[in-house]
A and B are shown apart, each in its own frame.
Chain A
Amino acid sequence: MPEIRLLHYYNAIPLPLLDTPISGRVWNSNLVLFKGKHYVVKAESGKGKTTFLNLAYGLRQDYRGDVFFNESNIRNLKANDFAQYRVNTFSYLFQDLRLFGDLTALENILLNPGNTLTTGEIEFMAEKLGVANRLDKTCKTLSLGQQQRIALIRALGQPFQWLFLDEPFSHLDDRNAGIAMSMILEKAQALEAGIVATCLGDTSIYRDFEMIEL
């Protein structure tokens, strides 16, 4: 897979935000993110944090302006190009987690087409996050906090150059959030990946992250 060194948002703005006042340095602006660096996008609800990630992930086409991977405009990419990127270039921890309630936690992780983890490695990570005894339960029986940790294992279980984290600790207590953060950083450093996280308010956990205000 070719390396995506730069994520470049050029004069980009989602159509639903056209009528709202824009202040930050993201929308209708010129923003470049570098692979290997860590960013946290901070804003209140409704400013387009999720949309910011979804644009580059190929989930939305309703925007003005352009987004580039290096120098190539992502408007030229097909659905299946994005599908391929999602297997080995981008990994995404969705805000609404996107797990399958009828499958067990373990099945949810193994189902990921990019997954490289063995069952043993999954158990090891689940142990650290305190959900090892939940792996064989269907996801719909898990609490939101447990589900968020399963979704995190799924996201970290595949190769990536960029890791998107949409409010990744929203359902976690501080202790588990800390453990999750150290696992994230460890994996991202090993892969020399960029991280783009979003955050509503308190950014104290994102210590070495560059802050981007929306």
Chain B
Amino acid sequence: MNGNALVKKLLFGKMQKGQLILSVAGTALGLFIMMTGVMMWQDVRRILTEKDMLGDDYIVISKKISLLNTLSGGPGRFSEEEVTELKALKAIDDIGAFTPSKFKVSMELSADYGKMSGQLLKTDMFLEAVPDAFVDIEKEEWQWKPGNGTVPLVIPADIIKQYNHAFAGSQNLPVIPEGMLKKVKFSMRIGEGEKTEILEGRIAGFSNRINSILVPQSFLDYGNKNYSEGKVTRPSRLILHAKDPTSPELMQFFRNKGYELNEEKLKASRTNALLQVIMLAVAMLGVFIVLLALLGFIQYTQLLAYRSAYEIQTLHWIGYKTSDLHKPYTRFSVINLAMAFVSGSLLLYATHLKLSEELVSRGFEIALNGWKTALISGLIMACLMFFISFMAVKKQVETLAR
């Protein structure tokens, strides 16, 4: 045996394999729990805040329907003054009107998809438009010019959810992921009688904020101009962008004015926020556990050095530098941490695969990539653990060597 091997034998001579395995397993578990917390936090947040084509800060308001409206034959419309008043509110950044379609539109689906192939769906539709700035879709996708291309639609997310979660299951039909639905093209017939036009339509996105189908403003204006005789009317619904859409002052204002808004949806966004806080707490708990694991890991290495206190001191006394004596422990820490990190990561990846599988079987179509962030966080934590244990053991060896 050469000198280095002899030194190693002296420094690790009193190592107990069982304790080593426990220490590495504990560290692996700690890292795994922390990484899982981070991964879940990321993934769940992503699922909860699934991108709405109308952003989170948008509110849709309308006027309460009363008997008077029934008699007058139309919904309550927002006057110029009322819009100005809303614009003056500090809580509101931007305001836009819903333009309703006044022409006849029907949709004809002729796509082949599984058991639905061969069927032809035909349905009349009601379309609306909001100013393009309120729709959170790439500009190139959300545009339409006469005689040019496909009409993009944003449809209420509830429709597809109802189909996937209730209808498909009960009727033994396949669930349709949102992504696949976006690939389906269908025909849109606009106009009546002899004056009709057939266009191609496709779904560009989904929104929880609306209960009608949105099209680009340019398309709606085109339809209203060419296929209806009705004159321009005041809007019955407005879309607002608010800094804090759930602020009590704003709610109070709407109530006083007799405006209605989609409160359910806003409550859901509050619930989402709460859930995110809970997931963050889980990740924090993971960090706490990993800190405990760190403590155990450092203590194990220190105990190992302490068991060889005589050897460390004597080796220093006969001329070994303290760095010669703590480096083997450092190397040992690196190997153990690497093993713990690799096993923790494998566990994490298995969890990720299982989670994805569960979500796909429930009709969610989201590429989960929280595990990547989780791996990075685990790596950072492992490096931090290495650094702290390196400092601790270095100090320990220097103290013992004296």
- From 45 to 103 in chain A, residues with beta carbon under 8 angstroms from any chain B beta carbon are 57, 59, 79-80, 83-84, 86-87, 92, 94, 98, 100, 102-103
Does chain A have a CB within 8 A of B221? no
Size of the B side of the interface (Cβ < 8 Å), in residues, is 21
Query: B3 to A86, Cβ gap below 8 A?
Result: no
Query: B316 to A83, Cβ gap below 8 A?
Result: yes
A88 to chain B, nearest CB (A): 8
Q: Known: A79-B401, A110-B3, A111-B6. Contact between A102 and B13, CB under 8 A?
A: yes
Query: A113 to B3, Cβ gap below 8 A?
Result: yes
- From 113 to 142 in chain A, residues with beta carbon under 8 angstroms from any chain B beta carbon are 113-114
Minimum CB distance partner of A94 in chain B: B317
B353 to chain A, nearest CB (A): 48
In the complex, what distance in Å separates the CA atom of A94 from the CA atom of B6? 21
Which chain B residues border A113 with CB–CB below 8 Å? 3, 318-320
Query: A110 to B316, Cβ gap below 8 A?
Result: no
A108 to chain B, nearest CB (A): 9
Which chain B residues border A158 with CB–CB below 8 Å? 319
Main secondary structure of the interface of B (DSSP, over half): helix
Does chain B have a CB within 8 A of A192? no
Which chain A residues border B52 with CB–CB below 8 Å? none
Inter-chain contact total with CB atoms closer than 8 Å: 57
Query: B3 to A83, Cβ gap below 8 A?
Result: no
Interface string of B1-45 (1 = CB under 8 A from A): 101001101100100000000000000000000000000000000
- From 145 to 160 in chain A, residues with beta carbon under 8 angstroms from any chain B beta carbon are 154, 158
In the complex, what distance in Å separates the CA atom of A110 from the CA atom of B10? 14
- From 307 to 339 in chain B, residues with beta carbon under 8 angstroms from any chain A beta carbon are 311, 314-323
In the complex, what distance in Å separates the CA atom of A113 from the CA atom of B320? 7
Does chain A have a CB within 8 A of B398? yes
Which chain A residues border B317 with CB–CB below 8 Å? 57, 59, 86, 92, 94, 98
B2 to chain A, nearest CB (A): 8
Does chain B have a CB within 8 A of A189? no
- Our pick among A57, A80, A98, A103 for the contact of B322 (Cβ within 8 Å) is A80
- Our pick among B6, B7, B10, B321 for the contact of A83 (Cβ within 8 Å) is B321
In the complex, what distance in Å separates the CA atom of A114 from the CA atom of B3? 11
Query: A103 to B318, Cβ gap below 8 A?
Result: no
Interface string of A4-39 (1 = CB under 8 A from B): 000000000000000000000000000000000000
Query: B6 to A86, Cβ gap below 8 A?
Result: no
Which chain A residues border B402 with CB–CB below 8 Å? 59, 79
Query: A79 to B398, Cβ gap below 8 A?
Result: yes
Does chain B have a CB within 8 A of A203? no
Query: B319 to A103, Cβ gap below 8 A?
Result: no
- From 374 to 402 in chain B, residues with beta carbon under 8 angstroms from any chain A beta carbon are 398, 401-402
- Our pick among B6, B321, B398 for the contact of A107 (Cβ within 8 Å) is B6
Query: B401 to A114, Cβ gap below 8 A?
Result: no
In the complex, what distance in Å separates the CA atom of A38 from the CA atom of B311? 31
In the complex, what distance in Å separates the CA atom of A80 from the CA atom of B320? 8
B27 to chain A, nearest CB (A): 29
Query: A112 to B318, Cβ gap below 8 A?
Result: yes
Minimum CB distance partner of A102 in chain B: B13
In the complex, what distance in Å separates the CA atom of A188 from the CA atom of B7? 28
In the complex, what distance in Å separates the CA atom of A2 from the CA atom of B1? 32
Query: B13 to A80, Cβ gap below 8 A?
Result: no
Query: B6 to A103, Cβ gap below 8 A?
Result: yes
In the complex, what distance in Å separates the CA atom of A56 from the CA atom of B283? 55
In the complex, what distance in Å separates the CA atom of A63 from the CA atom of B6? 35
- Our pick among B6, B311, B315, B401 for the contact of A110 (Cβ within 8 Å) is B6
Query: A83 to B320, Cβ gap below 8 A?
Result: yes
Query: A80 to B323, Cβ gap below 8 A?
Result: yes
B289 to chain A, nearest CB (A): 37
- Our pick among A79, A94, A103 for the contact of B10 (Cβ within 8 Å) is A103
B23 to chain A, nearest CB (A): 24
Query: B319 to A87, Cβ gap below 8 A?
Result: yes
In the complex, what distance in Å separates the CA atom of A114 from the CA atom of B7? 14
Which chain B residues border A112 with CB–CB below 8 Å? 318-319
In the complex, what distance in Å separates the CA atom of A102 from the CA atom of B311? 11
In the complex, what distance in Å separates the CA atom of A112 from the CA atom of B3? 8
In the complex, what distance in Å separates the CA atom of A39 from the CA atom of B323? 34
Query: B319 to A83, Cβ gap below 8 A?
Result: yes
A153 to chain B, nearest CB (A): 13
Count chain A CB atoms within 10 A of each CB in B319, B320, B322, B398 and give the residue with the most: B319
In the complex, what distance in Å separates the CA atom of A152 from the CA atom of B322? 24
Minimum CB distance partner of B325 in chain A: A83
- From 292 to 312 in chain B, residues with beta carbon under 8 angstroms from any chain A beta carbon are 311
8 more A-B residue pairs beyond the given contacts A59-B402, A84-B321, A111-B315, with a C-beta to C-beta distance below 8 A:
A79-B321, A79-B322, A80-B323, A83-B320, A83-B321, A107-B1, A111-B3, A112-B319
* Residues in chain A within 8 A of chain B (CB atoms): 57, 59, 79-80, 83-84, 86-87, 92, 94, 98, 100, 102-103, 107, 110-114, 154, 158
16 A-B residue pairs with CB within 8 Å: A57-B317, A59-B317, A79-B398, A79-B401, A80-B323, A83-B316, A84-B321, A92-B318, A94-B317, A98-B314, A98-B318, A102-B13, A107-B6, A111-B315, A113-B318, A114-B319
Closest 8 CB pairs of A and B: A86-B319, A87-B319, A113-B319, A83-B321, A98-B314, A80-B321, A111-B6, A112-B318
